[in-house]
Structure 1
Amino acid sequence: MKFIVKTQRGMEGVAANYVKEALPDAKIWISPMGYSGLVIVEAGDEGAGERILEIPEVERIIPVLVEVPAELEAIVSSAEKIASLIGEDETFAVKTKRRGKHGFTSVDVNRELGARIRELTNSDVNLSWPDKVVQVEIIGDRAYVSVLPGEEFRKFTPDKIDARKLFRKVTLVQMPYWGDYKACRSFGEKIGRAAQAFEVKELIIAPKEKMDAFELAEFLKGVRIGQESRHRIQREAYPWKVEKVPVSVWDLYQVVRDKRRPKRLLIITDPKGPTLAEVKADLARDAFYAKEVVIFVGSREGIPRGLFRFADYVVDLAPYMTFATEHGIPAALVSLWEIYEEYARNLEEGD
């Protein structure tokens, strides 16, 4: 049987050597047609696929069901053999990875082959959560067709609660870093990147007192650089539109005094408070029902103690530890998400 083995780019040679050790009689083609991250393995050994998967350098293997010339008509003609593996009550999707120059596109393959399979099986197409995936790997002048179960590792599945439900109502109040200009900009970049990564409702940069304007300017420049660098990655990686997080500057004490927004939940992260485990049940419930969750994060210094009286929760995220400035946002949001998700799942299950 023939397998297409996928690896990290540059690791195909290493993986091929281990495959050769595991399957001495196998025929191996490293980087077919010059495409890195690929190894084609032809082996007659029973259980060859399982033995290949024992190699950590192997990311994925695709057992080849049909091999045909890389021509649209030839690929569509493989539908009859493929259709026998898809039940009428199962959904499917066709996914094509094309390498090289051809007189057709990947979309053409998906459309034509998908239509023919649907005609033969009367099965429904489901592009999001198919029961079976018809995988077409085109490498130069050859096309390899497989039928695989729905992917084992998916980023987005119906059983996962969307974390954006929480983060879209989170306002981060971050005290700015001050001191050396380069340090200000560096910390600003990390904080801007973190806030954008979580796609929060708003990031407020909140000095607690008068500070050097140029130090603040460098910090804000860093926030913008970090935000834009993360936003570029998000636009390429996500299937949905990602907006930039609004960033504003406001006096720390005035943020606490703000009464315009109802149902705010104010959270301060500080070692003087109880641990997350002690308050998680109430905190998760309140975060779930709040219209806005406002989280205060210190920088070099903690949040002023006088503000504790106005907070709904003062939480110690990691007793006997002090987070670095750039770790405050990720630590607070990941911790809050964990207890929020647990509460949301319990509600779904009627607990």
Structure 2
Amino acid sequence: MKFIVKTQMDMEAVAGNYIKEILPDAKVTIAPEGYPGIVIVESDNEKALEKILEVPEVEKVYPVLIEVPATLEDIKGAAEEIVKYIKEGESFAVRTKKRGKRDFSSVDVNVVLGARIKDLTNAEVNLSYPDKVVQVEIIGDKAYISVIPGEEYLKWKKYPKDKPDCRKLFKKLTIVQMPYWGDYKTARAFGEKIGRAAQAFEVKELIIAPKEKMNAYELMAFIRGVKEGQESRYQIQKEAYPWEVEKVPVSVWDLYQVIRDKRRSRRLIIITDPKGPTLNEVKDKLAKDMYYAKEVVVFIGSREGIPVGLFRFADYVVDLAPYMTFATEHGIPATLVALWTIYEEELRRRGEISDKED
């Protein structure tokens, strides 16, 4: 049987040589037609698939069920054989990776082959979460076709349907960040890290909140850094995410006025500080309160912590890591990951998240 083995770019030789060691009788073709990241393995060993997967450099393995010339008509004709692997009532999707110049595109293969399979089986097409995936790998003048269970194909996907979406929490979470001050270069560098972190989590708002009068130019340098960090992360998100990403609103507000304004109905105020109880001590009640809150407002210090006087006005003062003090740039990521962890537990308790993926 043949297998299409995929690796990281330029790791195909390493993977191929290890496969040769564990399957000495196999025919192993590294970078066929000169295409990196691909190894073709042909072996009669019944445990070939299992052995190939023992190689860490191997990322995906597609057992080849059908091999045809790489023409649109021949690939379409393979549908007669493909349908033997799709049961009645199952949904399917066709995925094609085309290498080299052809007079047709990968989309053409998906459409033509998909339509033919549907005609023969009356199976439903499900591009997001199919029961079976028909994988077409075109290498040189050959098309190698595999039929893979949908759950296996989607196993390491970023956005499977059963995975909870942390944006449920972060879209209602406002970060109140005390600015970092000092020389301009340092302030700007810290601002860049904070801007990047706030945008990465797609929070509702980032409020930069000095607690007292401060040097305007130091604040300007910090805010410039925030803007640069946010923009760099935003550009990456636009390219990487399948959904529309918005820039996090950024404002400047006096720290004391923020806490005065946010003390309203269904606003939950959290201050992160080593003087508070540990997260584990309050997690159940905190998670429940976050669930019902219209807005969750998190105060994070900088070179100095949040003033103790504000503790009286907070719903929670939480120590995230006892006997440790976070670096300024780690405040947002550490806090939000911790809050999401307990929030997810609350969603599971309420039955809003299935434990199917566990």
Task: Pick the TM interval, shorter chain.
Answer: over 0.9
1:12 correspondence with 2:15 = no
- Which consecutive residues of structure 2, in runs of 5 or more, have no partner in the other structure? 354-358
CA apart distance, 1:222: 1.2
Aligned match of 2:156 = 153
Give the partner amino acid of 1:215. E
State the match for 2:85 in structure 1.
85
Distance 1:270 1:203 in 2: 19
Percent identity between the two aligned chains? 72
SS in 1 for 2:162: coil
Q: Which residue of 2 aligns with 1:277?
A: 280
The number of aligned residues is 350
Note the residue ranges of structure 1 that are not aligned, 5 or more in a row.
none
SS of residue matched to 1:343: helix
**259-268 or 189-198, which moves further after superposition?**
259-268
Q: Distance in 2 between the 1:326 and 1:27 partners?
A: 52
- Matching residue of 2:316: 313
CA distance in 1 between partners of 2:346 and 2:111 (Å): 42
1:259 offset after TM fit, Å?
Answer: 4.9
SS of equivalent to 2:175 = strand
Q: 212, 216, 233: which is aligned to 2:215?
A: 212
Q: Which deviations, in whole Å up to 9, do the C-alpha atoms of 1:107-143 show, x marking residues without a partner?
A: 1111111111111111111111111100111123221
Query: Which residue of 2 is the match for residue 177 of structure 1?
Result: 180
Higher mean Cα deviation, 222-231 or 162-171? 222-231
Partner SS, residue 85 of structure 2 = coil
Partner of 1:248, secondary structure, is: strand
The normalised TM-score by structure 2 is 0.95
Contact 1:93/1:125 (<8 A) preserved: yes
State the match for 1:222 in structure 2: 225
CA RMSD of superposed structures (Å): 1.4
Partner of residue 345 from structure 1, selected from 331, 345, 348: 348
Higher mean C-alpha displacement, 136-145 vs 248-257: 136-145
Question: Matches of 2:34 and 2:327 in 1, distance apart?
Answer: 45
Q: Give the direction of change, closer, same or farther, for the CA distance of 1:259–1:314 in structure 2 (3 Å limit).
A: closer
Distance 2:224 2:38 in 1: 42
- Tell me how far 1:53 sits from its aligned partner: 0.1
Would you say the 8 A contact 1:101–1:140 is kept in 2?
A: no
* CA shift for structure 1 position 260: 8.2
Q: CA–CA distance in 1 between the matches of 2:32 and 2:234? A: 35
Matched, 1:196 2:196: no
1:53-77 per-position Cα deviation (integer Å, ceiling 9, x unaligned): 0011111111111112221111111
What is the DSSP-based 3-state SS (H/G/I as helix, E as strand, rest coil) of the residue aligned with 1:271? coil
Whole-Å Cα distance in 1 between the matches of residues 56 and 170 of structure 2?
35
Whether the aligned pair in 1 keeps the contact of 2:178 and 2:210 (CA below 8 Å) is yes
- The reply to whether residue 60 of structure 1 matches residue 60 of structure 2 is yes
SS at match of 1:125: coil
Classify the secondary structure of the residue corresponding to 2:283: helix
Provide the secondary structure at the position in 1 that maps to 2:86: coil
Greater mean deviation of Cα atoms: 228-237 or 284-293 = 228-237
SS at match of 2:206: strand
d(CA) in 2 for partners of 1:136 and 1:125? 16
Q: Distance in 1 between matches of 2:258 and 2:75?
A: 62
Equivalent-residue separation in structure 1 for 2:113 and 2:136 (angstroms) = 10
